Structure 1
Amino acid sequence: MRIVVAIGGSILLKTYDAQRFQEYSDILKDLSNEHEIFIVVGGGKPAREYIGVARDLGAGEAKCDDLGIEVTRVNAKLLLLALGDYAYQKVPHNFNEAQEYSASGKIVVMGGTEPAHSTDAVSAILAEFVQADMLINLTSVDGMYTKDPNKFDDAELISEITATDMMDFIRNQDVKAGTYEFFDFTAIQMIKRSNLETVIANGFEPQNLIKAINGEKIGTRVISD
Structure 2
Amino acid sequence: MKSVVISLGGSIISGDRLDIGFMKRFSNMMEQSRAFGKVGIVVGGGRLARNYISDLRETGTNDIILDEIGINATRMNALAMTTFFKNCNLKIPTTINDAAELSSNYRFTIMGGTEAGHTTDTVAALLAERLGAKVLINATSVDGVYTDDPRTDKNAKKIGNMTYDEAIALSLKKSIGAGPNVFMDLTSLHIAKRSGIRIFVIDGRKLEDYASIVEHDTCTGTVIL
Work out whether the TM-score is over 0.5.
yes
8 Å Cα contact 2:35/2:211 also seen in 1: no
- Over 3 Å counting, the alpha-carbon distance change for 1:4 and 1:42 in structure 2 is same
Show the counterpart of 1:127: 128
Supply the distance in 1 between the matched residues of 2:116 and 2:180 (Cα, whole angstroms).
Answer: 13
Supply the distance in 2 between the matched residues of 1:164 and 1:199 (Cα, whole angstroms).
Answer: 15
Q: Once the two structures are aligned, what percentage of the paired residues are identical?
A: 32
Supply the distance in 1 between the matched residues of 2:176 and 2:47 (Cα, whole angstroms).
Answer: 16
1:156-171 map, 5 Å: 156-171=157-172
Q: Post-superposition shift, 1:34?
A: 4.4
Supply the distance in 2 between the matched residues of 1:22 and 1:15 (Cα, whole angstroms).
Answer: 18
Supply the distance in 1 between the matched residues of 2:39 and 2:202 (Cα, whole angstroms).
Answer: 17
| Superimposed CA distance per residue, residues 174-215 of structure 1 (whole angstroms, 9 cap, x where no aligned partner) | 499x97642111111111111111111001222221222222
Q: CA RMSD in A?
A: 2.0
Q: TM-score, normalised by structure 2?
A: 0.92
8 Å Cα contact 2:6/2:40 also seen in 1: yes
8 Å Cα contact 2:134/2:196 also seen in 1: no
- Over 3 Å counting, the alpha-carbon distance change for 1:208 and 1:112 in structure 2 is same
Show the counterpart of 2:105: 104
- Over 3 Å counting, the alpha-carbon distance change for 1:9 and 1:201 in structure 2 is same
| Superimposed CA distance per residue, residues 144-182 of structure 1 (whole angstroms, 9 cap, x where no aligned partner) | 001111111111110000111111111144499x97642
- Over 3 Å counting, the alpha-carbon distance change for 1:106 and 1:32 in structure 2 is farther
Runs of 4+ in 1 over 3 A off after TM superposition: 31-34, 172-176, 178-181
Q: Is there any run of 5+ residues in structure 1 with no aligned partner, and where?
A: none
8 Å Cα contact 2:147/2:157 also seen in 1: yes
Q: TM-score, normalised by structure 1?
A: 0.92
1:41 aligns with 2:43: yes
Deviates further, 8-17 or 192-201: 8-17
- Over 3 Å counting, the alpha-carbon distance change for 1:181 and 1:20 in structure 2 is farther
Show the counterpart of 1:54: 56
Q: Is there any run of 5+ residues in structure 2 with no aligned partner, and where?
A: none
